[in-house]
Structure 1
Amino acid sequence: MSAEEQRPLLRIVRGTPDDIELAALTAVVASLPGSPSAEPSEPPSGWSDRARLLGAPLRHGPGAWRASGFPR
């Protein structure tokens, strides 16, 4: 095992927490996001892009209500 694997996750510096307090603290620390990861090596697929599900912006002006029924 390396030194990184042997380090404790938490270290109590002062006080004497009971089991419930330690469990609550461990749950909070475990739920925190990890270190920021590097950018993905390739861009996400167009299939997973949620922006394509949004429609084009509505146009305003004379005849806009009529044009809203036309396919885009």
Structure 2
Amino acid sequence: MDHQSRLGEVHGPSTGFELPDGSFKQPDAAWISNDRVTALKEAGEEAFVTIVPDFVAEIRSGSDPLRKLRQKKTGT
């Protein structure tokens, strides 16, 4: 966890998420609500968990081609 607030946890690009379809994503920033974090902990999930964050952000730098970002977004 990078940072925890009263509402949830904020994670940076060093955190990866395994999605229900089996894909693995590392967004620049992600937020997960405390309700979902609590449910995961109660289920005994610790390391790699299958979860879709409540919010994600991907920051585009000037050197990132738009095509690459679209591929990252759609998984194609």
Calculate the TM-score normalised by the size of structure 2: 0.22
**Larger % of strand: which?**
2
Greater helix proportion: 1
TM-score of the superposition, structure 1-length normalised?
Answer: 0.22
Structure exhibiting the larger radius of gyration computed from Cα positions:
1
